[in-house]
């Protein structure tokens, strides 16, 4: 139950068959993880202000932090706030230590190590946010944009980054040998058999 309003809050994690999600990762709230997505140990995915839907073939590395949180000026207990879902497309890479809050990201993007993407940014497809770059403006980043360097300079690349298919295949074979995995859900209505 929600603190005082009487609403029942659904807090569930749904992991599609074929996804590799390490037990050492932290996943809280209403989170759906698509098939062929790999979540490394120590990655954090937190759904506070609404559900997080992660598409297929994403790579979420160690200490990556993905959060759907309330804006700083909003107090959730004060008023009824409509939950806003965070949607993550397919074949995105969230590298070590990145911080991601944007509510919408397309396909084939790379968020490099220690990069920060704020809540009001919409990331289209084929973008690369360089290591340590901080993007917190209210804007739609055009397709195939590369943000790089100390001053977060921008340019447009001629083609999208290639999907990390070989790396995903390798990790899907190796991670289960060294880490315990969270159980997957075969279908919405099918209970998990143990």
Residue 11 has pLDDT above 80, yes or no: no
| pLDDT > 70 fraction of the chain, expressed in percent and rounded | 85
The continuous run of DSSP H or E covering 165 comes out as helix 165-178
CB 49 within 8 A of CB 83: yes
Residue 5 has pLDDT above 80, yes or no: no
Task: Give pLDDT, residue 34.
Answer: 96
Nearest alpha carbon to residue 111 among 126, 125, 89, 131: 131
Provide the sign of the torsion angle of the four alpha carbons 173, 179, 180, 184, taken in this order. negative
Pairing of strands 52-54, 134-135: unpaired
Q: What is the pTM of this model?
A: 0.85
């Amino acid at each position: 139950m929600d603190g005082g309003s009487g609403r029942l809050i659904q807090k569930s994690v749904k992991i599609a068959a074929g996804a590799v999600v390490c037990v050492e990762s932290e996943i809280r709230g209403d989170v759906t993880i698509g098939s062929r997505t790999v979540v490394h140990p120590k990655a954090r995915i937190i759904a506070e202000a609404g559900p997080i839907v992660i598409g297929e073939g994403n790579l979420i590395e160690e200490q990556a932090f993905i959060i759907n949180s309330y804006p700083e000026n909003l107090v959730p207990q004060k008023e009824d706030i409509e939950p806003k879902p965070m949607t993550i497309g397919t074949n995105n890479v969230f590298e070590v230590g990145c911080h991601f809050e944007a509510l919408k990201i397309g396909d084939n993007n790379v968020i490099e190590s220690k990069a920060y993407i704020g809540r009001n940014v919409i990331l289209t497809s084929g973008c690369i946010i360089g290591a340590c770059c901080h993007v917190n403006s209210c804007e739609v980043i055009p397709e195939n944009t590369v943000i790089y360097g100390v001053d977060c300079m921008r340019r447009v690349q001629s083609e999208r980054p290639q999907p990390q298919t070989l790396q995903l295949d390798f990790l899907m074979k190796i991670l289960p040998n060294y880490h315990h995995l969270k159980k997957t859900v075969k279908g919405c209505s099918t209970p998990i058999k143990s």
